[in-house]
Structure 1
């Protein structure tokens, strides 16, 4: 099958495109003939050796396609079904065939095309899982979302409103991105540089996929009982050291959340959030801003743009016809 492979840790530009072996399925797995894959910042990190993986390795944490085989213990999915798939634990979404646990695929309606279906498994599912597991956006909470128009931030803001948040404020890096954020439904949008000043209110929840100096500044905007949720380190800054005594004195907290960890440890729970994501996108309750698409072979160039901060919203890779 055709696939993108990481063959060294020299970054997105060093990714290769060519023939690789088709993965085998286990008794609890499904195999999906991939039509499209979502492109994510973390895949650029993988290409730079962010985690220990044995090379060569096919990246890709999300995909959409048709089920072509199921393991002997699988009952919930059938061959021929159109699905959105989380391939987040073992990768493989950038291959012609991807294998994942059966709990981590969800049927998609005919109204949902491959591009939208491939764009939702990682970020939209994370947004719903954040609400269900740690953020609990309801009860009119005030929420601050960093990188508000990025792949994840664009979904978190919408899901927070959908789940009953009171005020949702987005943080962006440029004036040009302000309009995009307002179009996504944010109540207000501020520039990153404004985090060092007074935003006029404090927040119950801060969702931070950025890290670095932005994380340090955002901590100062938590009200008593509020918490900052660390969901990434897109800035690739050194880890922010948080003073536990200051957390005690201010009555605030910091917590991490990782969808991959949830999928590995509790795939059944992750499955419910993936189903929520599919339903919300299919009925229009949550919109995904797909900035562009590209052939799978151009994955390196797309990831380089994402890594460089030159994108707003989502990019999707289209696979060649089998």
Structure 2
């Protein structure tokens, strides 16, 4: 069948909307008609050449749509199911799916992250190969994924919100609940109030954190952050000593937890320095560009009890935890709909990324209606 897709032909070049050919779903696979896709900084990072990918490339990894066909042997989904797709999957059967120590399935975790380095088995462009950033190929009008990469969307979650549960929501909320294990009454500081950072704030309020401090260079983020539960805001452009400001807000002790959501290597040591000397935790979420990815933290800064943790996808299990988080949204416990600041058709996708670069959007969603 023919589908429409946004194609990246070279680093930093605008995406082009082109017709691609899509095959039939094989065993254990489903064909999905896209309804919405979120624009994420990770897409822009890859499109600009931050990660070596084979091209032409269909970016996009936050997708939501409807199952319109199933291949042989599909057990958990049926035609008509509303689903969200993720960059990683959850088979539910391997040893790593059975433990809370990781969210990286043996079959659909790290192995799935390499799909962008090889031509897709499902798509062709002008009879030639085309790669995808993630199995869901979210910037295409139709896609094929193994069922382990798709999670059912409960009633009450619209597609333009559901797609954000493919990355932003579980990455932020999960980093609080499953990586850091933030407890009620804790103090939290969040560096960077973009899509992921705001979800860290949302996760912190859900966990019952008593103090949630947001740090951002865009003063407009203050009002948005407070919608998600932020209690204090620090304007990074007007504050010379951010670490000192955080200590002042926490009675001189520092925050219990710090989350770096920017991907600026210089922020890591500062974020750790803003935490409690005895037990402070830095959770590194932001991905840093090649050549600027060495976190310089002196041993002396952690000997007293501080620690540094990495968090990929918030340690959220793609099917189990996303389903739980969508239920929390329906119950009014998460504020995920407030993330959507702009909605654009696929033909205006480059405009959406320009708004992201200028800091004018929280999350732009591409709609396929």
Please indicate the TM-score interval, normalised by the length of the shorter structure: 0.7 to 0.9
Q: Paired residue for 1:8?
A: 10
Q: Which runs of 5 or more residues in structure 1 are unaligned? A: 264-268
1:112 and 2:112 equivalent?
A: no
CA contact (8 A) 1:33 1:67 kept: yes
Q: Paired residue for 2:200?
A: 156
Q: Paired residue for 1:103?
A: 148
Decide which of 299, 303, 307 is 1:249's aligned counterpart: 303
Deviation at 1:40, TM superposition (A): 0.5
Deviation at 1:170, TM superposition (A): 1.2
Q: Paired residue for 1:311?
A: 360
- Counterparts of 1:1-322 in structure 2, within 5 Å, are 1-9=3-11, 11=12, 13-22=13-22, 24-87=24-87, 89=113, 90=115, 91=134, 92-148=137-193, 150-193=194-237, 194=239, 195-199=242-246, 200=248, 201=250, 202-210=254-262, 211-223=264-276, 224-233=278-287, 238-259=292-313, 269-288=317-336, 289=338, 290-306=340-356, 308-319=357-368, 321=369
Deviation at 1:291, TM superposition (A): 0.7
Deviations 1:16-63 (A, max 9, x none): 111012155443333211011011111111112222322111111111
Q: How many residues are aligned here?
A: 310
Off by >6 Å, runs of 4+ in structure 1: 234-237
CA contact (8 A) 1:67 1:82 kept: yes
TM-score by length of 2: 0.77
Deviation at 1:237, TM superposition (A): 8.3
| Secondary structure of the structure 2 residue equivalent to 1:21 | strand
TM-score by length of 1: 0.87
In structure 2, the CA distance between the partners of 1:26 and 1:170, relative to structure 1 (3 Å rule), is farther
Q: Which runs of 5 or more residues in structure 2 are unaligned? A: 89-112, 116-133
In structure 2, the CA distance between the partners of 1:176 and 1:52, relative to structure 1 (3 Å rule), is closer
Counterpart-to-counterpart distance in 2, 1:159 and 1:230 = 16
